[in-house]
Amino acid sequence: MGQTGKKSEKGPICWRKRVKSEYMRLRQLKRFRRADEVKSMFNSNRQKILERTEILNQEWKQRRIQPVHIMTSVSSLRGTREVALHDFSANFFSYK
Measure Cα distances from 70 to 6, 44, 64, 67 in Å: 99, 43, 14, 9
This model's pTM is above 0.75: no
Cβ–Cβ < 8 Å for 77, 66: no
What pLDDT score was predicted for residue 77? 56
Rounded Cα–Cα distance for residues 58 and 52 (Å): 10
What pLDDT score was predicted for residue 57? 83
What pLDDT score was predicted for residue 32? 96
Cβ–Cβ < 8 Å for 94, 82: no
Query: Low-confidence residues of the chain, pLDDT below 70?
Result: 1-10, 65-96
| Residues facing 86 on adjacent strands | 93
Rounded Cα–Cα distance for residues 46 and 73 (Å): 45
What pLDDT score was predicted for residue 11? 75
Domain boundaries, the chain: 1-66
Cβ–Cβ < 8 Å for 28, 22: no
What pLDDT score was predicted for residue 66? 47
